[in-house]
Amino acid sequence: MAASVLIAPDKFKGSLSADEVALALQRGLLEGAPHLRVDRLALADGGEGSVAAACSAGFTAREVTVTGPTGDPVTAAVAVRGRTVLVEAAAICGLGVLPGGRTAPLTATSRGVGEAIGHVLADPAGTPDTIVLALGGVATTDGGAGLLQALGAALHRADGSLAGPGGGGLAGLRTAGLGSARDAFAGVDLVLATDVDNPLLGPRGAAAVYGPQKGAGERDVRRLDAALGHFVRRLEADGATGAAALAEAPGAGAAGGLGFAGMLLGGRVRPGADYFLTLLGADRLLDGSDLVVTGEGSLDEQSLSGKLPVALARRAGERGVPVHAVAGRCTLPAARTAAHFRSVQALTDLTDRDCARDSALSARLLAQCGRALAERWIMSGDDGDDEQEDAAGG
């Protein structure tokens, strides 16, 4: 009987989508071992590409036009399957949708995420049972204030005007009532998918840790953290009992504080990688696989904290299925990866060119990695009991 291989990578950021990575690896594997049975599963963990991965796994895309991070309209897709809807924050207020790539650390708003959720809740076909909010890759640090305003929260300055846009505008907040925002989620399970465990405020908070990635200088970071702290205090004063405790909860600082806003609305934080593996049907495919190929753009120290390839390897390991990894680059020695992967190949070891900015080159190199896997581990019948091969060295 032909061996069954599951190819289940994350995206290679800036280069290839998860499905494009899987297709390139499949091409190489089948060139080296034409008899293989191959399943592909594009993965995501809550950041950019989550809707695309869900649609590859059977969800249907539905377009919405909402407010982008700097106020201009953006058209994005939500993913729908039955009574479950996935909303990807990065597609609406992410760094990748900033006009001209220009950051706006003090004024970028999450309002469009709330508008997208509002469209979902108002669907004539019926209110969904579950809304999954994929948190990651955003350009905002507004504590989710924009999202809350779009859903009916009353966030106003002393003169009665709306507070914001963005985290910087929260410093002038006078009233912060949640209004009808909480009521909108009656009977809906709101899942906040993230692998970030930062609180909202302080040295590990949304502004301090992630603000610089969104263009915030040192002064901006201090201003944003102070404004978010004021936001929390106003919420408490205006009846949102428990807001201060939620601001300290793991995950509150995810996606510039969208995690905090989601918690205010009754959402529950779930580890992004493991949640998406279940949502996308990885277990069923693993049960029928003899070998797994996974990967991501950068296999590094953060990967070992439970990012997708390692989370997948753990599930495969429970079934005794060997896992091989391919990465754009790998900064880990073989001693650190051997517990999870039978082999690791890195594209940076195959070229001196910058493949992260060259999708065609990345696809060719991934196909080359697929052929190498077929020849070394499948056609040769190697059971992998010898020392791990690590093309990344070390």
Q: How far apart are CA 51 and CA 279, in angstroms?
A: 12
pLDDT, tens digit (0-9, with 9 covering 90-100), for 329-377 = 999 999 999 999 999 999 999 999 988 889 999 999 999 999 999 999 8
DSSP code at position 393: -
pLDDT of 387 reads 43
SS3 content of the chain, % helix, strand, coil (to 5): 40, 20, 35
SS3 293: strand
SS3 180: coil
Question: Which CATH code is given to the segment(s) 50-273?
Answer: 3.90.1510.10
Pure H helices in the chain: 18-32, 50-56, 89-93, 111-121, 145-150, 218-237, 243-247, 258-264, 272-279, 282-287, 308-318, 334-337, 359-373
Q: Which pair of tokens denotes residue 170?
A: 């929260």
pLDDT of 382 reads 60
**Location of each CATH 3.90.1510.10 domain in the chain:** 50-273
pLDDT of 40 reads 95
Pairing of strands 291-299, 268-271: unpaired
**Location of each CATH 3.40.50.10350 domain in the chain:** 4-43+289-390
Beta-bridge mates of residue 390: 344
Placement of tokens 């709306």 in the chain: 162
Do the beta carbons of residue 274 and residue 293 sit within 8 Å?
A: no
Name the nearest CA neighbour of 143 among 86, 185, 205, 71: 205
Which pTM value belongs to this model?
0.89
pLDDT, tens digit (0-9, with 9 covering 90-100), for 14-67 = 889 999 999 999 999 999 999 999 999 999 888 888 999 999 889 999 999 999
H, E, C per residue of 122-137: CCCCCCCCEEEEECCC
Which residues, given as ranges, of the chain have pLDDT below 50? 383-387, 389-394
The topology (CATH level 3) of 4-43+289-390 is Rossmann fold (3.40.50)
Q: How far apart are CA 348 and CA 138, in angstroms?
A: 28
